[in-house]
Every structure is written in structure tokens, then in C-alpha cells.
Amino acid sequence: MFSCKTSAPEDTILRSSLRSPISLPIGDHNSGCKVIDLNFHGATVHIGEISFFNNYTAYITIKFRKRSLSGFPAPPDQPRSGSVWHTLVPKTRLMTDPHCENGGQDFRIFGPNQMLADADDVTGLRFICKQPSPHWKSFGIDEIKCYSRADMIQTPRSSKQEDPLAEISKSAASNITLPNAGNISLYLQNLHSLSSITAAALTPSLTAQALGRFDEDNCYEINTLAYN
């Protein structure tokens, strides 16, 4: 599941420019595929996150091109490294159903967890947008932004962040030493025995004390007797 908020501040947005989307036709028909190229004005960048607003694109693949590793020309049978497009984000579904509107205008973010490789020394990005449904007159992605990896705020990637109070509770619990269960059982048995002995010792005295209020010098108070 994708985030709805980037972890990078606004001042880490990389300067870039877009070429007009190119539709790939099949004869006289629309293939349902568009290619959008983005470059960084001749600079090489380190990309941490990519964000955009979907515009009814059903599937997207993102590729990147790296800076040439050397200034020497490549052998005739091998392409130059700077001209090879590598897959950065594999084909990913953006809409639940290409024929339905769900997800068609969502804000999307792709970070390191969705990328197949570190986007270092990048000279350009290519977005391959696909929409197989004929229900939409146009499709693509809007407001594309790339964020520098070197300056990004390092935040956890999990959807839930730990509660500070929970962390304190865990720490306190780890420092508590619980007594032995056998010692607790023996203590409870001794306590029960002591309470039984105490109750047995107090019962006669309580009975005598209760009856003593009727007894005065081995005789009964005549006024306290009841006659039936």
C-alpha cells in the first residue's frame, strides 16, 4: 500500500523538465500506452522518492537512465551505459479496475521500498503509462516530483509508528523481576494456614464475649431475661 504523504521536505524537490507525452499507436488505433520522459537539465541526481497525481492510468512502469560509467566509448556490440533504461519500479497497478474510476485520481508516492535499485547517478526517468480500457478519452500522470535521497528526512517506513508511552512501558516491564511461582504457592499456603489458626483461636473468645454481657458474677441479670 502506498503512502499519501511524502517524508521529504519541499526544499528537496529536484529541478526537472518533462517532454510531451508520446502515445504509442498500433496502426490507426490507440495502443493504450503513453511514454513520459523526464530529465534533470543535464545533471545527475540521487532520487529517494517520486510522487505524482494519477490521471486515469491503470498501470505504470518507471525506468531510469544512469550516467555513463566512463568517458570511453562502448564497444560496437554493447550500448553505452548512459543510453540504457533500467527498471526502477516494475509494472504496478494504480486503478482497482481499469474500467472503473477507483484510484483514477489518487496521489501516489514511490519510495525505496517500491524501487528495485538505488536511484543514484540518474540522468533521466521514463514513465510508461498504460490504460487498456477505452472508457477514458485521455490518461497519464500529473505534477510529477522527484525528491533527493541525500537530503530526505529519515523516517520509518512502517504504516504505524510506535507510541512513546508503549516504548516506556516495554522498557519498564523488561526491568521487572517476577518471583518464583513455587515460592508464591508456598507463601499462600502458609498464609491460609495462619488465617485458619487465627480464626479458630478467636472464635471461643468471641462467643464468650458475646454471652458475657448477660453474665454478671456468675448470675444472670433479671432484666435481660426474656420469658415466653
Sign of CA dihedral 222, 223, 224, 226: positive
Task: Specify whether the backbone of 218 is left (phi greater than 0), alpha (psi in -120 to 50) or beta.
Answer: left
Question: SS3 letters for 164-199?
Answer: HHHHHHHHHHHCCCCCCHHHHHHHHHHHHHHHHHHH
For residue 28, name the pLDDT band (cuts at 50, 70, 90).
Answer: low
Query: In whole angstroms, what is the distance from residue 166 CA to residue 73 CA?
Result: 58
Rounded to whole angstroms, how far apart are CA atoms 89 and 61?
Answer: 6
Q: What's the average model confidence in pLDDT over 18-31? A: 78
CB atoms within 10 A of CB 3: 17
Helix (H, G, I), strand (E, B) or coil at 3: coil
**Stretch 111-132: mean pLDDT, rounded?**
93
pLDDT at 209: 52
- Pull the grid cell for residue 156: 520509518
What proportion of the chain, given as a percentage, has pLDDT over 90? 36
**pLDDT score of 154:** 44
Position 125 confidence tier, pLDDT thresholds 50, 70, 90: very high
Residues 150-196 pLDDT 10s: 655 444 444 445 566 666 666 666 666 767 777 777 778 778 778 77
Q: What is the dihedral of CA 198, 199, 204, 210, to 10 degrees?
A: 120
Instruction: Classify each residue of 76-111 as buried b or exposed e, where b means 16 or more C-beta atoms within 10 Å of its C-beta.
Output: eeeeeeeeeeeebbeeeebbeebeeeebbeeebbbb
Question: Would you state the pLDDT for residue 83?
Answer: 73
Do the Cβ atoms of 144 and 50 come closer than 8 Å? yes
Is the pLDDT at 137 greater than 50, yes or no?
Answer: yes
SS3 of 130, please? strand
Inform me whether the pLDDT recorded for 127 exceeds 50.
yes
pLDDT for the residue 156: 41
- As a whole number of Å, the CA-based R_g of the chain is 40
CA distances from 135 to 30, 67, 109, 173, 223 (A): 12, 40, 25, 58, 107
pLDDT of residue 20: 87
What tens digit of pLDDT does each residue of 45-97 get?
999 999 999 999 999 999 999 886 554 444 444 455 557 899 999 999 999 99
Number of H helices, E strands in the chain: 2, 11
